[in-house]
Amino acid sequence: MNFSLKAPDGTIIESYEKDHKEFIRIAGLEYEVYNPVDELDSDPEIRQMNESSEKDIEQGKLYSTDDLIRLVKCGAL
């Protein structure tokens, strides 16, 4: 995610990576970009749930929105 933007007041905003982390620099000050997805990706239980969901999608195990609403209304979910 490397980019450089110029704000309306002329301030330059730059992004860069350092030590495998993402940062932005605004008016000479450095800020680490917080990405909560990184925490989720490191959780083994959530990673397993994601992998299981991806396999279900690949195998066509999908529900439409209408199906899900019907299942919730009848108490099946």
Number of folded domains that form the chain: 2
pLDDT of residue 40: 79
Whether 68 and 77 have beta carbons less than 8 Å apart is answered as yes
- The residue ranges of DSSP E strands in 1-77, in sequence order, are 4-6, 12-18, 21-26, 29-32
Same domain for 23 and 46, yes or no, is: no
Q: Do 58 and 47 form a contact (C-beta atoms < 8 A)?
A: no
Does 4 score more than 80 pLDDT? yes
**pLDDT beyond 70 at 1:** no
- The tens digit of pLDDT for each residue in 18-58 reads 888 889 988 888 999 887 877 777 888 988 998 999 999 99
Same domain? For 21 and 40 the reply is no
Q: Determine the structural domain holding residue 49 and report its residue range.
A: 35-77
Predicted local distance difference test score (pLDDT) of residue 21: 86
Residue 71 banded pLDDT, cuts 50, 70, 90: very high
